[in-house]
């Protein structure tokens, strides 16, 4: 098994990330579930916005030549002060470097607050060049809080099928759902509203 790791030891632009909209900065916060002190997080700049595309950055994935094998993505996320507009989009496979544009194609998983701000909602969407079409959607039983949560997404290859599953804190919250529309993605990326934090990222195949 091969692995790609981003632990934010250097500023994103020094590690190959390209920031396309607004910005991110590094912040050190204790990681509750990681059981680590002073874990480095990529925190979205405090720029007011209407959705999770306010701050965006992307990096070329080591699997840009194709996703014909089973793949998993793992990342950690924490909310700042939850609001109705706050959220994070993690692009698993993106055709475009400027993730989050309506013309993009690929898959992303969103971490958003429920309408009443009491729960974390996870949504896996496929983008087809004219906006997002939801593949997996729905609220979870994860209570909204200000600590970190592990998000784990798997894409299992079985013949011509591609089965997607979304886990948080080791619990299966969505899937399996079969969607094999796209098998190539050049970039992975992050879109985040103000004060959203993205922790270490692990890509395995």
**Pick from 54, 27, 51, 52: nearest CA to 39:** 27
pLDDT of 72 reads: 96
Position 12 pLDDT exceeds 90: no
Please give the structure tokens belonging to residue 128: 């087809």
pLDDT of 35 reads: 55
pLDDT of 51 reads: 55
pLDDT of 153 reads: 96
For all residues of the chain together, what is the average pLDDT?
84
Q: CA-to-CA distance for 8 and 25, rounded, in angstroms? A: 10
* Per-residue pLDDT reduced to its tens digit, 94-109: 999 998 888 999 999 9
The mean-pLDDT minimum among 28-42, 98-112, 121-135 falls in 28-42
pLDDT band at 80 (very low <50, low <70, confident <90, very high): low
State the CATH class of domain 3-204: mainly beta
The pTM of this model reads: 0.89
pLDDT of 34 reads: 59
pLDDT band at 201 (very low <50, low <70, confident <90, very high): very high
pLDDT of 114 reads: 80
pLDDT of 61 reads: 87
Asked whether 197 and 65 are in contact (CB, 8 A), the reply is: no
**Pick from 147, 150, 12, 149: nearest CA to 80:** 147
The mean-pLDDT minimum among 47-56, 107-116, 130-139, 168-177 falls in 47-56
> Phi/psi at 70 (nearest 5 deg)?
-70, 140
Q: Region 112-128: what's the mean pLDDT? A: 85
DSSP 55-72: EEEEEE-TTTT---S-EE
pLDDT band at 37 (very low <50, low <70, confident <90, very high): low
pLDDT of 32 reads: 62
Q: Where are the domains positioned within the chain? A: 3-204
């Amino acid at each position: 098994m091969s692995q790609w790791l981003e632990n934010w030891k250097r500023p994103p632009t020094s590690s190959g990330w390209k920031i396309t909209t607004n910005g991110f900065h590094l912040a050190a916060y204790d990681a509750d579930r990681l059981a680590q002190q002073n874990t480095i997080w990529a925190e979205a700049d405090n720029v007011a916005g209407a959705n999770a595309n306010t701050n965006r950055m992307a990096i070329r994935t080591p699997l840009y030549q194709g996703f014909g094998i089973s793949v998993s993505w793992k990342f950690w996320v924490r909310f700042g002060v939850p609001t109705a507009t706050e959220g994070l989009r993690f692009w698993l496979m993106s055709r475009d470097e400027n993730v989050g544009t309506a013309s993009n194609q690929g898959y992303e998983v969103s971490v958003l607050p429920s309408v009443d701000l009491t729960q974390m909602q996870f949504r896996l969407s496929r983008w087809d060049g004219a906006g997002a079409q939801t593949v997996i959607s729905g609220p979870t039983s994860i209570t909204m809080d200000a600590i970190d949560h592990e998000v784990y997404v798997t894409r299992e290859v079985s013949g011509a099928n591609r089965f997607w599953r979304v886990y948080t804190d080791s619990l299966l919250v969505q899937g399996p759902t079969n969607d094999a529309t796209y098998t190539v993605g050049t970039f992975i990326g992050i879109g985040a509203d103000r004060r959203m934090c993205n922790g270490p990222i692990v890509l395995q195949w």
